[in-house]
Amino acid sequence: MEFADFIRTPKCDRVVLHQPLCPPLDGTLCITGHHFIFSSRQEEAQEVWVLHRMIDGVERRPNGMMGGAVAVKCKDLRVLVLDIYGVEEFNNIAHTLETLSNVDDIRLAYPFFFRSNLGGEDDWSEFSTEHEFSKLILSSDEWRISHLNSDFKVCESYPRSVVVPSSVTDEELIRVALFRHGGRFPVLSYRHDKGSILLRSSQPMTGNQRRCREDEKLINAALGSSGQKGYIIDTRTQNLAMSAKVGNYIRQAHRKPGHVSQGS
């Protein structure tokens, strides 16, 4: 299949675009294999790009020999109306948008044709745990950088280096990883200058009244000795969290005083 076979009018001038809460724009409409593009063609040109797969429906509003309007209803709830001059152009554009927005073959989707200009950059080198957390490590002895996951054997979805409480050893981290789903033991994600922290992890593994003292030690070490409360945010839906509550949730009785928020 060639996209050109369906694009009867690849370019159309004298098109007026109507958008909600915006004044009408005069410009040019261009249609490619994966997008339709409207450009106002002014000094400070305004462009609107819409992926064909974002189109939920196309409505034709003919206006006799003058042409008509094509209402494009998008999946992000936008409704764009294109006033098109000329009957032939009106029918061609409406037919093209209807056809290209209903292509079923996934191999013709935009990601299979997109060519990145990144030049083969190594994304792993863009972020260095040692560099990003160097100030924290130097200013506080409460945290350390662990290279336990250097070969990704402990957790496939964690980086090679992670920040954990200094009082927890790598051997204890291994036991915590065995207690957590996917091996995602609690690690530091963010620390505010005032000392507030954000950790991420997965839920505990299922099991009747299962507990892991090393896991409890890690959480309590993160809370520190100040006695302040911590918040455990369960990002699962409330129904899913409650249905799994037999074993894979954190019992507050095994932690320092805190607050558990389900389904946030």
Averages of pLDDT over runs of 10 residues in the chain (264 residues) are 83 95 93 94 82 94 94 95 96 95 87 73 71 76 91 92 94 95 93 87 76 91 75 78 59 51 44
Residue 4 CB neighbours (<10 A):
10
Output the pLDDT for position 146: 94
Cα torsion for 140, 143, 148, 149, to the nearest 10°? -100
* Rounded distance between C-alpha atoms, residue 164 and residue 140, angstroms: 12
Task: Give the pLDDT of residue 209.
Answer: 60
d(CA 137, CA 108) in angstroms, rounded, equals: 49
Cα 133 from Cα 191, distance rounded (Å): 9
Which residue, 60, 65, 64, is CA-closest to 97?
60
Token pair listed for 31: 């249609």
Question: What is the predicted pLDDT for the residue at 71?
Answer: 97
Q: Are 52 and 34 in contact (CB under 8 A)?
A: yes
Q: Residue 261: its pLDDT value, please? A: 46
Residue carrying the six token digits 């939920």: 56
Token pair for 255:
């932690």
Beta bridge partners of residue 152, listed in sequence order? none
Quote the pLDDT of residue 225.
Answer: 60
Closest CA to 31 of 100, 104, 91, 77: 100
- Please state whether 219 falls in left (phi above 0), alpha (psi between -120 and 50) or beta: alpha
CA-based torsion, 245, 247, 248, 252: positive or negative = positive
Asked if 154 contacts 183 with a C-beta cutoff of 8 angstroms, the reply is yes
Q: How far is CA 206 from CA 150, 174, 199, 250, in A?
A: 27, 18, 21, 11
Phi, psi of 111 (to 5 degrees): -55, -25
Segments making up each domain of the chain, as ranges: 3-112, 123-262
* Contact call for residues 263 and 237 (beta carbons, < 8 A): yes
Confidence at residue 1, expressed as pLDDT on a 0 to 100 scale: 59
Class of domain 3-112: mainly beta
Give the separation between CA 72 and CA 55, rounded to whole angstroms. 7
What is the structure's pLDDT at 119?
63
What pLDDT sits at residue 254? 53
